[in-house]
Structure 1
Amino acid sequence: MMRILLVCTGNICRSPIGEFLLRRYLEGTAISVASAGTHGLVNRPMDKFSNTILRQRGITETADFRSRRLTTPIAKSSDLILCFEQMQRRESIQLAPTMTRRTFAISNFVSILQHLTSTGQIRSTVPEERLSEILMQPLDPRLLVPNRDDIPDPFGQPFEVFADIAERIEDALHTIAQTIGG
């Protein structure tokens, strides 16, 4: 079983949306999805707007969700860490330096996947093997340069802002799931 970890700041807004969406997209594979926050508000339910967004997408089994803080053991037990902002990537790597090559801002990871796909460097047809193959690729350093496409924190913002952020999350994770799922 391969493990993907989504990381935001409080683990109540973006990463829960990402966790539940990516889990749905990768259903039926041997890839598990979880989330945490670099400054996680421990044992809190997800934000009401995040919950509403998931319900609008037919995901209703969210009542048991509880936030958690990213720790070194959580980071090290993951095969891939996807962060919503470059700052979270840096904080994740500080906790688990051995995960540097497997920790990305989501926007950078999407760019990397698009490059690997367009150059035919992903060959496997089994999702977990595809993910492993992606993580083993030597990466063009230009693809690792932080871009400015962080997905900002909607905490405390009106629902419309959450909805816009959720669309960005959904688009990125859909691309990731399509690439991994083949």
Structure 2
Amino acid sequence: MHILFVCTGNQCRSVMAEYYTRNSLAKRGLSDPTTGIIVSSAGTLHYPPHPADPIAVDLLAQDGIDASSHMSTSLTSAISGSADLILCFEREQISDLLEQNPLAGRKVLLFNDFVNVCQHLRADGPIAGNTVSDRLFEAKDCVSMIRPFLPKASETEDPHRKSRDVFERVYGEIKQGVDNILNAVA
């Protein structure tokens, strides 16, 4: 299972989500060699690689996560094509991604939409599947059936060039969402 987080510049939200998810998987003993779960990130803007926002790096560091060497990656159809689950933070990013790669439609979701799906499925009992990857695939495959029963998912605010308070709020939202996803499938 390859999880791809996508935001606009791959400098703030997707970076925080990628590194926090990797760290959370490792803490749960579910890192890549044992689960086959790969986590990466990219941005819909196409400009030269640049480092993650210093506030994002600092917030991750406060949780013991080192993202200091992160360099942004521009989203390509090859990147989205290699992913099994693509989580975007805004609906416009989904539109941009699908314009570039229409075949990704069945695997791209708004981050908070997938969080809602996982919470709903967990409330109904264990998600079907023998492994974390199996359960992530199952959750993704259930989206169209259960979406009508879920609240409309909110977008995640872009903290780029905003105050530290906004970064902290966004990081908190991402952490809670990732924790809810992993609690549902782990």
The reply to whether TM is greater than 0.5 is: yes
Partner residue of 2:48 out of 42, 50, 64: 42
Separation in 1 of the partners of 2:16 and 2:50? Answer: 14
Give the SS at the match of 2:145.
coil
Native 8 Å contact 1:41 1:67 kept in 2: no
Unaligned runs of 5+ in 1: none
Which residue does the alignment assign to 1:102?
107
Q: Where does 1:1-182 land on structure 2 (aligned, <5 Å)? A: 2-27=1-26, 28=31, 29-60=35-66, 62-120=67-125, 122-137=127-142, 139-142=145-148, 147=153, 149-181=154-186
Give the SS at the match of 1:26.
helix
The one-character-per-residue Cα deviations of 1:162-182 (angstroms, maximum 9, x if unpaired) are 11111011111111122222x
Structure 2-normalised TM-score? Answer: 0.88
Native 8 Å contact 1:38 1:92 kept in 2: yes
Native 8 Å contact 2:127 2:185 kept in 1: no
Separation in 2 of the partners of 1:104 and 1:143? Answer: 16
Separation in 2 of the partners of 1:25 and 1:40? Answer: 29
Aligned length: 178
Separation in 2 of the partners of 1:143 and 1:151? Answer: 21
Separation in 1 of the partners of 2:183 and 2:151? Answer: 23
Separation in 2 of the partners of 1:143 and 1:100? Answer: 21
Separation in 2 of the partners of 1:113 and 1:21? Answer: 18
Structure 1-normalised TM-score? Answer: 0.90
Give the SS at the match of 2:5.
strand
The one-character-per-residue Cα deviations of 1:76-104 (angstroms, maximum 9, x if unpaired) are 10000000111111211222222212111
Unaligned runs of 5+ in 2: none
How big is the shift at 1:41?
4.1
Separation in 2 of the partners of 1:168 and 1:12? Answer: 17
Native 8 Å contact 2:8 2:45 kept in 1: yes
Separation in 1 of the partners of 2:19 and 2:147? Answer: 31
The one-character-per-residue Cα deviations of 1:47-75 (angstroms, maximum 9, x if unpaired) are 00000000011112x23211011111100
How big is the shift at 1:141?
4.4
- Structure with bigger helix share is 2
Among the aligned pairs, what percent are the same residue?
33
Separation in 2 of the partners of 1:161 and 1:90? Answer: 25
